[in-house]
Structure 1
Amino acid sequence: MKLLIIEDSEALRRGIVVGLNNLGFTLDETGDGSAGLSMALSHHYDLIILDLMLPNVDGMSILRTLRQQGIQSKVLILSAKILPQDRIDGLMQGADDYLTKPFSFEELHARILAILRRGELVQQDNRQTVGGFCLDLETMRFTYQGQEIELTRNEFKIIECLFSAKGRVVNVEMISESVVGTFDYLSKNTIESHLSSVRKKARAIGGTLPVKNKRGFGYFVEEAE
């Protein structure tokens, strides 16, 4: 998963880079609008984090050019502009989300995951396979080497959330939302209890569930080498 950050505040840009690097994302970065546009046009990025007020070429011009050129990278605008019309303009020009400054890193991370997840809902394969485990979203079955692992609804939804984002860290809030929506909440202890149950069921048929915990950040599926 490769991201491009175009943000002219060096302190903010470096903070985002360090945080996202720690979460396993691959990043390119620049504080110049002209350089950012050139990078976005010449390389493939899954997501572009785009400031609006940039030197040489402003963020809105970058966004318009990308969409006119058929570049389909997801775009998350970061801006100090807080008026509703500013948000509307950004979204109408082709941005996927709009986050106003100041913001917390946790919210930025959550919005990145939400944007990437929306893309997967459109494009994802109905079968996610990792190390002998297969999650089939068409038949709603979870198997290990062809043997079915019977899961509860919540266990299945947690596995679906993690396997669909394999290779990326998913925090507790995102897992909770994918399982029970925004009007309820699953605690970390509850999620860990469900995962412990799935691990036991996997071990019973000779498998080791490839779900790891990145302390302080969340969970991820470790892809087999």
Structure 2
Amino acid sequence: MRILIVEDELHLAEALTHILRKNNYSVDAVHDGRAGLDYAQSGIYDLLLLDIMMPEMDGIRLLQTLRSQGVSTPVIFLTAKGEISDMVAGLDYGADDYIAKPFSSEELMARIRAALRRKGETVQDDTLRFGDIELSPTHLKLASRGKELKLNLKESELLELLILRKQGVTSKEQIIEKLWGFDSEAEHNNVEVYISFLRKKLTFLNSTVRINTIRGVGYVLEVSG
């Protein structure tokens, strides 16, 4: 899962980034509303954390712009005391939740999990399933047929993306944008390396799930046999 933080308080943005990465989320952070809009329009994020009062463009206007463009990415507002009316406006414009500052890391993570569940990207226990495999993105664990192994973060993110694509073909460009960010210098061979790692781990688990290459197009998950 990839999360965008749009927060002009640098220390808070850094703290949020640390918390989310510790919980195995990929994170980008920007510090004004205009940059936040540019990043959010890329379509690579699973959730946005938006401050309300920001330079260049406030969070309410940012959300309103995104929703008017058909961007349905879940949004959680970070609100301060005295911003209740703004928070209500944000919910009316399509925000999914809000969390009042100061907040605990436990509350933040619970609200993020709830917003992602409402989006329908995970089942109740935060486990993704395809064929005979079960992936826990939170714990970076892949299981099949009574065996389990640990993945690194990029492997987990890649397999998660392929599962969520629901047997649709995923291009190398889409993988790079999702896993490394749309302004990344990652190349196709980076994708190929992680595809190779995942294939070896699926084989180790004796899984019937395969990552097939559609030449010139991308990759797709399929169940063999």
Q: Normalization by structure 1: what TM-score?
A: 0.58
Instruction: Give runs of aligned pairs for residues 81-120 of structure 1, distance below 5 A.
Output: 81-82=81-82, 84-120=84-120
**For the structure 1 residues 129 and 79, does the alpha-carbon distance in structure 2 shift closer, same or farther, using more than 3 Å as the test?**
same
1:89 is displaced (CA, Å) by 1.4
Contact in 2 for aligned 1:82/1:100 (Cα 8 Å): no
**Residue 69 (structure 1) aligns with:** 69
- Counterpart secondary structure, 1:168: coil
- Counterpart secondary structure, 1:76: strand
1:208 to 138, 142, 147: 147
**Residue 219 (structure 1) aligns with:** none
Instruction: State the alpha-carbon separation in 2 of the partners of residues 123 and 73 from structure 1.
Output: 18
- Counterpart secondary structure, 2:67: helix
Instruction: State the alpha-carbon separation in 2 of the partners of residues 61 and 72 from structure 1.
Output: 15
**Residue 189 (structure 1) aligns with:** none
**For the structure 1 residues 81 and 69, does the alpha-carbon distance in structure 2 shift closer, same or farther, using more than 3 Å as the test?**
farther
**For the structure 1 residues 96 and 9, does the alpha-carbon distance in structure 2 shift closer, same or farther, using more than 3 Å as the test?**
same
Deviations 1:105-147 (A, max 9, x none): 11001100110011117999xx8237x347xxxxxxxxxxxxx
**Percent of pairs with identical residues:** 39
1:211 is displaced (CA, Å) by 8.5
Instruction: Report how many residues are paired.
Output: 150
- Counterpart secondary structure, 1:62: helix
Deviations 1:68-97 (A, max 9, x none): 000011100001045653332111111000
Structure 2, unaligned stretches of length 5 or more? 152-158, 161-196, 199-225
Pair 1:129-2:151 in alignment? no
Instruction: State the alpha-carbon separation in 2 of the partners of residues 168 and 65 from structure 1.
Output: 31
Instruction: State the alpha-carbon separation in 2 of the partners of residues 9 and 85 from structure 1.
Output: 21
Pair 1:167-2:168 in alignment? no
Deviations 1:156-178 (A, max 9, x none): xxxxxxx6xx31249xxxxxxxx
Read off the aligned partner of 2:130 and give its amino acid letter.
T
- Counterpart secondary structure, 1:11: helix
Instruction: State the alpha-carbon separation in 2 of the partners of residues 128 and 72 from structure 1.
Output: 24
- Counterpart secondary structure, 2:39: helix
Pair 1:25-2:22 in alignment? no
Structure ID, larger Rg: 1
Runs of at least 4 residues off by over 6 Å = 121-124
1:31 is displaced (CA, Å) by 0.7
**For the structure 1 residues 22 and 122, does the alpha-carbon distance in structure 2 shift closer, same or farther, using more than 3 Å as the test?**
closer
Read off the aligned partner of 2:34 and give its amino acid letter.
S
Contact in 1 for aligned 2:116/2:122 (Cα 8 Å): no
- Counterpart secondary structure, 1:42: coil
1:38 is displaced (CA, Å) by 0.9
Instruction: State the alpha-carbon separation in 2 of the partners of residues 90 and 169 from structure 1.
Output: 32
Instruction: State the alpha-carbon separation in 1 of the partners of residues 109 and 69 from structure 2.
Output: 28
CA RMSD, aligned part only?
A: 3.1
Instruction: State the alpha-carbon separation in 2 of the partners of residues 10 and 74 from structure 1.
Output: 23
- Counterpart secondary structure, 2:103: coil
Instruction: State the alpha-carbon separation in 1 of the partners of residues 108 and 150 from structure 2.
Output: 23
Q: Normalization by structure 2: what TM-score?
A: 0.58
Instruction: Give runs of aligned pairs for residues 135-154 of structure 1, distance below 5 A.
Output: none
Contact in 1 for aligned 2:64/2:93 (Cα 8 Å): yes
